[in-house]
Structure 1
Amino acid sequence: MNQSDRVKIAKRVVEELPEGAVVNLGVGIPTLIPDYLDGKKVYLQSENGLLGIGPTPDEEHVNMDLISASKKPITMDTGASLFDSADSFVVIRGGHVDAAVLGALQVDRYGEIANWAVPGKKILGVGGAMDLVAGAKKIIIASTHQAKNNQPKLVEKLTFPSSGVRKAEMLVTEHAVFKFTEDGPVLIEKLSDISMAELREITGTEFKEKIKI
């Protein structure tokens, strides 16, 4: 995937973030969001102990003592707060995060997420994934439509370890926006010129259409 597709996903997710919301950003595409808020005031939270992430610094202003949970250099927005990571998880587990924007290895047809371990590969640890899945009021997945091996991310059933029984509300990829329902995924918006037949071919489960093009 090229950078423009990643930016497209991040910009589309920003549309779903309400003004004044506390939002946690996961690893990968979600880390682009601070650069594309376009004046919208949301409070970006990092689980390593920061509320008020600002835009990505340029090379001259990188301070590696100030990093996100993804270990990427960040800045602090006006009024930002620093605190212990234990307090940060109190915020998450206490239900004070309005939305979590997470990456995913897989998402099943009902919105259950696998985003922390690939079977047979070295595991660094679950990090905050399970806490965020359980604690955030809303979960939005920002992800490529397919993995690097061209396997679909949206699947009928997870084959990777689940991050928790709590379900995501929405999936945004470079090609489409899906909402999850009790009956499975519903396509609500197409974001690329891909045909419907091609979209179904690269998606690992059936979906309904209620679409804006």
Structure 2
Amino acid sequence: MNRLSRDQMAARVARDIPEGAYVNLGIGLPTRVANYLPHEREIFLHSENGLLGMGPAPAPADVDPELINAGKEPVTLLPGGCFFHHGDSFAMMRGGHLDICVLGAFQVSSKGDLANWHTGAADAIPAVGGAMDLAIGAKQVFVMMEYLTKNGECKIVEHCTYPLTGIRCVDRIYTDLAVVDITPDGPIVREMVAGLDFDALQTMTPVRLRMLEEVV
């Protein structure tokens, strides 16, 4: 089955981030989006450890160990970028000042509930970070994840079985197989990878899907 690579997924997310947007990229997979933002658009990347105006990952020779994102990965700072207190950074997140956040996920429900900080396993290390603040504070929440788990289970579910990060907060899901909008009427498939048809996607998904063409 044809699938998008993680870098192709990041490039797909980047296409939908508009000019002038203030954006937080969550730890892990979403950080790759920074490397694919169109150069002709002015987009302001925020990190909860106190950065605004981040650029793409640096070349190995340009790594500054004191310039990192919330995931402790080296980043660059664009002209006009700035640093500020951790508390001020969370005030931006909680105060509704971010247009978009891009988060990873273990599960997303058909109503847009998000589970991305803990699997509930006894030996798993919880990692809330700023995810809860972002999920309720950003104007739009994009999720970036593989469609299926390593065991072949769909991550889009009727009801999340993992501890929740946020309730009815997800607007759009970007995966290696499809882009899915979460709407009041349920998940709507916006696009699919080449070679995948709707019936095959529905077969692997435990919730009812609809194609965008059916509702526009």
Alignment TM class, shorter chain as reference: over 0.9
1:152 aligns with 2:154: yes
Q: Which runs of 5+ in 2 are unaligned?
A: none
Q: CA deviation at 1:158?
A: 0.2
After TM superposition, list the pairs within 5 Å mapping 1:42-191 onto structure 2. 42-120=43-121, 121-191=123-193
SS in 1 for 2:42: coil
Query: Contact 2:30–2:102 at 8 Å: present in 1 too?
Result: yes
1:29 aligns with 2:33: no
Q: Tell me the equivalent position of 1:205.
A: 207
Query: Contact 1:24–1:97 at 8 Å: present in 2 too?
Result: yes
- Residue range with higher mean Cα deviation, 17-26 or 161-170: 161-170
Mapped partners of 1:52, 1:3: distance in 2: 32
Query: Contact 2:13–2:174 at 8 Å: present in 1 too?
Result: yes
Q: CA deviation at 1:3?
A: 10
Q: CA deviation at 1:94?
A: 0.8
- Residue range with higher mean Cα deviation, 198-207 or 83-92: 198-207
Query: Contact 1:104–1:113 at 8 Å: present in 2 too?
Result: yes
Q: Which runs of 5+ in 1 are unaligned?
A: none
Q: CA deviation at 1:49?
A: 0.5
Q: CA deviation at 1:125?
A: 3.4
TM superposition outliers: structure 1 runs of 4+ over 6 Å: none
Q: Tell me the equivalent position of 2:14.
A: 14
Q: What letter matches 1:101 in structure 2?
A: V
Name the TM-score, length of structure 2 as normaliser: 0.92
Q: What letter matches 1:107 in structure 2?
A: V
CA pair 106-81 structure 1, distance change in 2 beyond 3 A: same
* Residues matched between the structures, number: 211
Query: Contact 1:134–1:166 at 8 Å: present in 2 too?
Result: no
Name the TM-score, length of structure 1 as normaliser: 0.93
Mapped partners of 1:3, 1:27: distance in 2: 22
CA RMSD of aligned residues (A): 1.8
CA pair 171-211 structure 1, distance change in 2 beyond 3 A: farther
Mapped partners of 2:135, 2:172: distance in 1: 13
Mapped partners of 1:4, 1:59: distance in 2: 26
Q: CA deviation at 1:140?
A: 0.6
Mapped partners of 1:45, 1:211: distance in 2: 35
Aligned-residue sequence identity (percent) comes to: 41
Query: Contact 2:179–2:192 at 8 Å: present in 1 too?
Result: yes
Mapped partners of 1:145, 1:119: distance in 2: 20
Q: CA deviation at 1:174?
A: 1.3
Mapped partners of 1:70, 1:125: distance in 2: 11
Mapped partners of 2:80, 2:32: distance in 1: 21
